């Protein structure tokens, strides 16, 4: 079964892993040290992130390092953009209402 990027980022642990490896490549053990869970659970999350092409593996000696594929996150950003415009419009409308209420109060 091919997972998609949205399934991957839906899980809070996977989002936390993404945030960790966005700063620097890390081994599975180093990643697991940041969570109160088993190394196997972290490996499962890494496998899902790898299947969705959000992370890549690089062998360095005997260790495997995981790093973020930042370009793949652009899919999420592109999808979110439509909602960002809606939110900005609504915040601007709310700001207009608050300004009117403030002006009415000062009159």
Give this prediction's pTM: 0.76
Q: What is the pLDDT of residues 88-102, one digit of tens each?
A: 888 888 888 888 888
- C-alpha span between 30 and 53 (Å, rounded): 20
Q: What is the pLDDT of residues 38-71, one digit of tens each?
A: 999 999 999 999 999 999 999 999 999 999 998 8
The more confidently predicted of residues 106 and 55 is 55
Provide the CB-side half-sphere exposure for 6 (13 A, CA): 6
Average per-residue pLDDT in the chain? 91
Task: Indicate whether 1 pLDDT > 70.
Answer: no
Domains and CATH numbers, the chain: 5-106 (1.10.10.10)
Tokens found for residue 64: 């495997």
């Amino acid at each position: 079964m091919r997972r998609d990027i949205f399934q991957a980022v839906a899980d809070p642990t996977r989002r936390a892993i993404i945030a960790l490896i966005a700063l620097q490549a890390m081994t599975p053990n180093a990643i697991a040290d940041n969570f109160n869970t088993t190394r196997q659970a972290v490996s499962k999350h890494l496998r899902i992130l790898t299947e969705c092409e959000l992370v890549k593996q690089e062998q360095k000696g005997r260790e495997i390092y995981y790093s973020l594929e930042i370009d793949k996150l652009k899919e999420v950003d592109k999808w979110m953009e439509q909602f960002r415009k809606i939110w900005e419009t609504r915040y601007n409308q709310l700001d207009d209402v608050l300004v009117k209420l403030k002006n009415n109060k000062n009159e």
